[in-house]
Chain A
Amino acid sequence: MIDKKTIEHIAKLARLHVTEEEAQEYSLQLAKALAHFEQIAKIDTTGVEPLITPTEIESYWREDVVKQEFSAEEMTANAPSKAGNLFKVPPVV
């Protein structure tokens, strides 16, 4: 059951601010979505291995060879805030 408390918990984990009204609204929406999955969950899957990936291909691995496609300037070009080539974010401690 997705109650208001669960919504608040999820919002906190995602560092989102959710108002009372929004929490109410999301709890209804998510409950609806979950109900759909509950329906799927009723199917008997005994003996069926969980599906990790829909593709049945063998593992694909990359060789350990360095490639640099972007400079530090390019990588930080769109940062809303930066200091030199470092990303600048609100304080986290």
Chain B
Amino acid sequence: MSYRGFEAVIGIEIHVQLSTATKMFCADSTEFNAGDNENTSPVSVGMPGTLPVLNKKAIEYSIKTGLALGCDIRRKSVFARKNYFYPDLPKGYQISQYDQPLCENGTISFKVDGAEKTVSITRAHMEEDAGKSNHHGEYTLINYNRSGIPLLEVVSGPDLRSPAEAAEYARTIRQIVRYLDVCDGNLEEGSMRCDCNVSVRKVGAVQFGTKVEIKNINSFRFVEKAIEYEIERQIDAVERGEKIIQETRLWDPDKNRTFSMRTKEDAQDYRYFPDPDLLPVIVTDSMIEQYRKELPELPIARAKRFQNEHALPEYDAQVLTMEKALADFYEETAKESKNFKASSNWIMTELLRELNQANKEIKDSPIKPLQLGRMIALIDKGAISGKIAKTVFQEMWQSGKDPEAVIKEKGLVQISDPAAIEKIIDEVLAANVQNVEDHKTGKKKNLFGFFVGAVMKASKGQANPELVNKILQEKLK
């Protein structure tokens, strides 16, 4: 993609907050809604003499993510101290990984505007989060509830070339960690944080331009907009003959622009060194094999399977695999109904619309997959018509009742007894003598539809439409 003869080079660092119950190095809870400093302990506020003890689950989640991103898992990785002095980091250093990260050299693929894009994952390393500062001018208030929460920082190669690719990359990472159930992917609560490195260069140039880091982006739409803005800003600067300064900029969603946070006049000097308080992380082959076995089928593979084995269109397969819970819902429904396309249709149109309107997640759906599956099977058996099914669906949505119960209670069973239908038809024809006459003599055309409609109405929509058609045709000969 070219912008006024320039090309953008983008790399993204995503901090994935691992959804463990406790922190990375101590047993404090990670509950988001806790009171101020409620989730703290001597370790997480950096009291002298405390010692960190690594959370097994954090390792498991990190390795699973690494495997899903196609990374090599280092059998012996080391925690390092990243030293900097800031009150949100009471120890004076952040425990991170430096030259020996847990996961390296992965790739992920996704589609952008129909074209497949592959991006390299340089590394994914474990680190602890810092506390939260609130600045009040005269003073700063600090809450250490977040201090020590486990993060996996996933670093992409500089392989992204457009804002759309960058946003899709971030969405794909979110989709994967949610499938793995290692992160809730909630951007507003900071469970995922994206930092974007952006530079521009003349098309065809080999050297990278000077990169600028954009922070404070809390939605994928803003990833796109912030990078868009930054590309234009940098090209403008280069065209004016200015030099791009390596700096950190923040995204201002209200003004739709990035602004300089601070120029790094002091070159970063984190003085990394191995943390002597922690043992190296030794990962065995059997652990890795175990975790690999536990990996769920990932979205791209699952979508392909839906297309190949269930004969679903690409669009359906993509929508249904957006979230693991939705794909699970669909599969359970389809297994029960034995009708793949109908299951997909009911979920994609009726169910997703209701969920959307009620602002509910799929897991909170009042209609369970087995119920929906049975309802679809009832349509296919001819017990209810497709039209009546919409009423049944609505009733199930409201009450959470089984389809059979709704049909029975509301008397919605389809009338498939020819004698009963004939009776209704006779009544309708008797009440519309003139129309019958006009139809037979051909005086008025297209009256057949009128009769079908009248019969369906008289039967409250319960008459089997095929039988109605058949009997009407005979009667009107």
Which A-B residue pairs are the 8 nearest by beta carbons? A64-B57, A67-B27, A61-B56, A85-B36, A86-B141, A72-B37, A87-B142, A66-B29
Query: Does the CB pair B280–A53 fall under 8 Å?
Result: yes
Q: What are some 29 contacts across the A-B interface (CB < 8 A)?
A: A12-B266, A14-B92, A52-B78, A52-B274, A53-B280, A58-B282, A61-B55, A61-B56, A63-B56, A64-B22, A64-B58, A65-B21, A65-B27, A67-B22, A68-B27, A75-B40, A76-B37, A85-B36, A87-B37, A87-B144, A88-B139, A88-B140, A88-B142, A89-B142, A90-B139, A91-B137, A91-B139, A91-B140, A92-B86
Q: Is B279 an interface residue (CB 8 A)?
A: yes
Q: Is A48 an interface residue (CB 8 A)?
A: no
Which residues in A have their C-beta under 8 angstroms from that of B281? Answer: 59
Q: Is B143 an interface residue (CB 8 A)?
A: yes
- Which of the four size classes fits the interface of chain B? 35 or more
Q: Is B87 an interface residue (CB 8 A)?
A: yes
**A interface: dominant SS:** loop
Query: Does the CB pair B280–A89 fall under 8 Å?
Result: no
A window 47-85: CB within 8 A of B: 50, 52-53, 55, 57-72, 75-76, 81, 83-85
Nearest-neighbour CB distance to chain A for B377, whole angstroms, equals 42
Q: Is A17 an interface residue (CB 8 A)?
A: no
Which listed residue, B27, B38, B279, touches A57 by the CB 8 Å rule?
B279
Which residues in B have their C-beta under 8 angstroms from that of A75? Answer: 37, 40-41, 45, 144
Nearest-neighbour CB distance to chain A for B85, whole angstroms, equals 5
Q: How far is B140's CA from A69's CA once the two chains are assembled, in angstroms?
A: 26
Which residues in A have their C-beta under 8 angstroms from that of B141? Answer: 83, 86-89
Query: Does the CB pair B41–A62 fall under 8 Å?
Result: no
Q: Is A15 an interface residue (CB 8 A)?
A: yes
Which residues in A have their C-beta under 8 angstroms from that of B45? Answer: 75
Which residues in B have their C-beta under 8 angstroms from that of A57? Answer: 279
Task: Look across to chain A and name the residue whose beta carbon is closest to the beta carbon of B36.
Answer: A85
Q: Is A40 an interface residue (CB 8 A)?
A: no
Query: Does the CB pair B37–A92 fall under 8 Å?
Result: no
Task: Look across to chain B and name the residue whose beta carbon is closest to the beta carbon of A49.
Answer: B76
Q: How far is B468's CA from A21's CA once the two chains are assembled, in angstroms?
A: 105
Which residues in A have their C-beta under 8 angstroms from that of B21? Answer: 64-66
Which residues in B have their C-beta under 8 angstroms from that of A86? Answer: 36-37, 134, 141-143
